[in-house]
Amino acid sequence: MKIDSTVSNLRAAKHRFESYSKPLARFCLYVEAVIHVALRIVAERGSDSAAQHAKAFLTYINNERLVQLAMMADAADEALKLIRECDKEEWDTARMVDLVQNFMDRIEWLFEKNGVLDAQTFTAHMLNILKSVKSWTVNGTPKQIGNVLGVPAIEISRCLARMRAWRAVALSVLSAEFPDFELHASFAIFSLAPPDAGPAGRVEATGAGDVHFRRLAQVLDLDHEKLRAQYDDHVYLARRLKSTQELGNGEAWRMAMEKTQRDSSIRSAHPAQELKAALMRYRAFSISTGGVERGFSKQVWLFGTSGDHQCDRAMFLKAKLTNDYNDKEEIDVIKHAQLIWRKNWDDTRKKGSNSLIDVGKAVGSRKQNTEKSWLANRHATITKAMRSASQRSHHALPAADIVAWEASHQEEKAYQESKRAGLLVEAFEAGALLDEEKTDEVHGLVAEAKERMKKTDHERKLQKARTKRKVEGGRPPTAQELAEKRLFVDDGVAGSAALLRDVKRAAKMHKMTLVECRKLADFYITLTPAAPGLRTEWASVLGGRVIMTPEAFTRGHGSCFGYVAASKIKRTVFLSDGFKNRYAKVAKLIRAMSGWVFVGAEAEWLEIRKNTAKAKRSAETIALVTKAEVDALVALIKADMGAGVAELTAGALHVFTIDQALSFVRKYDNIRCTSGV
Q: How far apart are CA 547 and CA 562, in angstroms?
A: 6
- When computed from its CA atoms, the radius of gyration of the chain, rounded to whole angstroms, is 39
In angstroms, the Cα distances linking 470 to 460, 463, 552, 667, 674 are 15, 10, 18, 14, 9
Distances (CA, A) of 140 to 59, 641, 655: 11, 49, 55
Find out whether 61 and 134 touch, Cβ atoms under 8 Å.
no
Beta-bridge mates of residue 143: 136
Q: For position 593, what pLDDT does the model report?
A: 93
Q: For residue range 497-513, what is the model confidence (pLDDT) as tens digits? A: 999 999 999 999 999 99
CA-to-CA dists, residue 428 to 187, 215, 220, 418, angstroms: 19, 12, 15, 15
pTM recorded for the entire structure:
0.66
Question: What's residue 205's pLDDT?
Answer: 40
82's CB contacts (< 8 A; 6+ apart) are 99, 100, 103
- The residue length of the chain stands at 677
The DSSP letter of residue 132 is: S
Query: Other CB atoms closer than 10 Å to residue 63's CB: what's the count?
Result: 20
Distances (CA, A) of 96 to 17, 88, 318, 333: 20, 12, 33, 36
Helices (H), 262-311: 264-269, 273-284, 290-303
Of 408, 402, 406, 409, the residue nearest 157 (C-alpha):
402
Helix axes 153-177, 407-430, angle to 10 degrees: 20
Kindly list the distances between the CA atom of residue 641 and the CA atoms of 601, 618, 653, in Å, as whole numbers in the listed order: 18, 13, 11
Which residue ranges in the chain fall short of pLDDT 50? 200-203, 205-206
Euclidean distance between CA atoms 33 and 525, whole angstroms: 80
